Amino acid sequence: MSMEVTAWTSLYNAMHAQEDKRPFSKATLRRIMGFARPHRRRLTVFLVLSVITAVLAVATPVLAGRVVDEISGDGSERTVIGLAALIAAIALAEAGVGLVQRWLSASIGEGLILDLRTAVFDHVQRMPVAFFTRTRTGALVSRLNNDVIGAQRAFSDLLSGVVSNVVMLALALGVMITISWQITVITLVLLPMFVIPARRMGSRLAQLEREAANHNATMGNQMTERFSAPGATLVKLFSQPERESDAFAGRARRVRDIGLRTAMVQFVFVTALTLVGALALALVYGLGGFYALRGQLDAGAVVSLALLLTRLYAPLTALASARVEVMSALVSFARVFEVLDLQPLIQEKPGARAVPGGPVSVEFDGVSFSYPTADKVSLASLEEVAQLDVRGGEQVLHDVSFRVEPGQMVALVGSSGAGKSTIAQLIPRLYDVDSGAVRLSGVDVRDLTTTSVRSTLGFVTQDGHLFHESVRANLQLARADASDADIWDALRRARLDDLVADLPDGLDTVVGERGYRLSGGERQRLTIARLLLAQPQVVILDEATAHLDSTSEAAVQAALSEALVGRTAVVIAHRLSTIRAADQILVIERGHVVEQGTHAELLTVGGRYAELYRTQFADSDTDGVVSDDLTSGGEVAAPVA
C-alpha cells in the first residue's frame, strides 16, 4: 500500500467514524455476539485468513531484501530465481487468500445486514398505528439502511482490519528492529506527523460532512414532500414555487460550498501525509545507505526497511483511529437495538384462538380508551426531536357499549373528533382498550389471534390508500392466492372492470403513488374490490364516500351495496341520508354514546341526530324533504356509507 493510499484510507476512516460518548453495556455486546453467532465459523476462518494475509504482506519485503543481497553479493542465479519464484508464489497466495477473504467478508457482512434488516422490519410491522403517526419515515428507513450497514462494518472491514493490522504491525516492527533498531526508532519519530493530522483534520472534515448530510437530508425531505402529487398541488395552489426554489437553492449552495472546502482540505491533507511518507522513505534510504556504505548494513536490508515502512505506517495509522471506528459501529448497533427494544403495545396472548366460525357479531362492552402517549409508542430519535412530547393520554371514549348482531348494520354519526374513527380502529385491534372489552362473536379480541381477527374484518377508509404497484398487486394484498378470474370478478362487482380493461396494461398497470393515477372514486372502488376479494365477515366503513362528487359517490355506493350484502357492518357516515336503513344508529359526541336507535326513532326524539339531520338538509326544506323524513321516516336509501 502506497503512502498516498494510506493517507486517503486514514482520512476516510476518520471522516466517517462517529464518536459517541455513551457507555455500552455487556448486555449490548452480548446481543451483538448473538447476531454474530450464526456466522461464527466463517468469522473464524475470516480472522485466520486475516492473520495469514498480514504474514504474507511482511514476508515479501524480507525476500526482496534477500534478492538484492544475492545480486550485490556473490549469490547464485539459482538462489535469485528461487527467491523470485517464492515472491511470485506469495503474490499468488495473497491473491487467492484475498479472494476467499473478500468472499467471506461479503458473505458475513451481507448475511448480517439481512439478519438485522429482517429483524427490524418484522419488529416495526408489529408496532401499533400510533408509532407510525409519530415517526418520521425517513428516520425509520435510515435505521434499516445506514445504521444496519454501519453495524455490519464491525464484522467485516473493521474486525479484519484490526486483527490484520495488529499482526502486520507486530511482525513489521519486529523485523525492522531485527534489521536495524536505530533506523526503526528514527522512523517512528515521524509517526506523530502522520497520525495526529489524520485525527484532527479528519474530525473537522467529519463535521463538514455531517453538515452537508443534514442539508442533503433536508433537501431530500423537501423533494419527497413537494414532488408528491398532493405536495406539488399545494405549492401550485398557493403560488409559492419561487419561495420553494429559493429555499432549495440556499441549501444546495451551502452543500456546494462545503464540498469545495472539503475537497481542498482533503487535497492538502493527503499531500502533506504523502510528503511525510516520502520524507520517512528518504530518511530510510539516506541513513540506511550511510550504514551500508560503512559496512554496518547490507544493501538488501535497506530495501527491506524501505518496503516494510509502508507495512508499519499503514497499520499504525489505521489502529490510531480504530477506537473511533469501533465506537461508530457500536453506535450503529445501539441505534438498531433502540428500535428493537421498543416493545409493541399490541401483543398476542399465548394460546390465543381463532375467531369462532359462523356469522360474526361485534360488541363493545363498557369501553373506555385514551391514545397512548409518545413515550409508550415512539422514540425521540425517530421523531427527530430532542425530547418526546409526553402530553396526551386524555380519555377519548367513555363507557361505550353497543352490539351489532350478525348481518346487521350499525351506523356511527356525530361531530368531527367525537370518537367515531377511534371506535372503528378498536375493532381490528389497531389499539387496545383501557377498560371494558371489544368482542367478536362473544370473544374478547385480546384473546383472539391477530391473523384471524384481521382476516375476519374488512376496512375501507375515506382516503382509499393504494401502493405504487400494479392493480393486481394492490388487490392481491387482500388475498395473495387470488386468481385473475377472482380479481376480475371482484372488479366487476365493484363496477370497475371496464375501466381496468381499458388501462394500457390491464391488471399490470401501475396505479402510481397512493393511487394518484386514478380518480378519487376509482381509488375507492378499487379498495372496495380489494374488500370483496378478501370476503370478510365484518365490514367497517370509515366515511368511505366523504370526499367524492355525486357521480363518483353513486358508483361507490352501488359497489358498497354489493360489499355489504349478508355481512355485519359498522359504518361511519358523514352524509346522513346514506344510513337511514341502518338497523341501529349511534350518535357519538365527545366519546359518549348520547343517542341510540333507528333513523325514524331518532328523528322522533328530536335530539342531536335530528339536529344534525336538519342542518345537513336545510337547503332542501323548501322541497319538503326534511318534513317528509321527519313525519314518515322518508324513503329508505341503500345501506351504504
pLDDT digits (tens, 9 = 90+) for 295-313: 888 888 888 888 888 777 7
* Amino acid 78: pLDDT: 86
| Section 63-80 average pLDDT | 83
Are 560 and 544 spatial neighbours (Cβ–Cβ below 8 Å)? yes
pLDDT digits (tens, 9 = 90+) for 177-199: 888 888 888 877 776 666 666 56
Q: Binning pLDDT at 50, 70 and 90, where does residue 19 land?
A: very low
What's the topology of domain 3-11+24-340? ABC transporter transmembrane region fold (1.20.1560)
Of 310, 311, 305, residue with least CA distance to 288: 305
The CATH number for 362-383+391-632, chosen from 3.50.50.60, 3.90.1140.10, 3.40.640.10, 3.40.50.300, is 3.40.50.300
| Percent of residues, the chain, with pLDDT higher than 90 | 14
- The three cell numbers locating residue 428: 381490528
Are 527 and 472 spatial neighbours (Cβ–Cβ below 8 Å)? no
Is 48's pLDDT higher than 50?
Answer: yes
Lowest average pLDDT, out of 7-16, 155-164, 208-217, 288-297, goes to 7-16
Query: What's the whole-number average pLDDT of the chain?
Result: 79
For the chain, the domains span: 3-11+24-340, 362-383+391-632
| Section 145-160 average pLDDT | 69
Of 254, 151, 247, residue with least CA distance to 209: 254
* Amino acid 618: pLDDT: 58
Are 367 and 592 spatial neighbours (Cβ–Cβ below 8 Å)? no
Q: Residues for the chain: how many in total?
A: 641
Dihedral through CA 206, CA 207, CA 208, CA 210, nearest 10?
80
Return d(Cα 98, Cα 57) in angstroms, integer: 11
Of 261, 300, 42, residue with least CA distance to 160: 42
Give 245's contacts (C-beta < 8 A, 6+ positions apart).
none
Lowest average pLDDT, out of 18-22, 505-509, 597-601, goes to 18-22
* Amino acid 197: pLDDT: 62
Residue 621, CA distances (Å) to 111, 550, 579, 617, 629 in order: 70, 20, 19, 7, 10
Is 8's pLDDT higher than 60?
Answer: no
Q: Binning pLDDT at 50, 70 and 90, where does residue 437 land?
A: very high
Write the secondary structure of 86-146 as one string of H (helix), E (strand) and C (coil).
HHHHHHHHHHHHHHHHHHHHHHHHHHHHHHHHHHHHHHHHCCCHHHHHHCCHHHHHHHHHH
Q: Binning pLDDT at 50, 70 and 90, where does residue 627 land?
A: very low
Return d(Cα 13, Cα 267) in angstroms, integer: 16
Are 532 and 483 spatial neighbours (Cβ–Cβ below 8 Å)? no
| Section 475-486 average pLDDT | 88
Is 410's pLDDT higher than 90?
Answer: yes
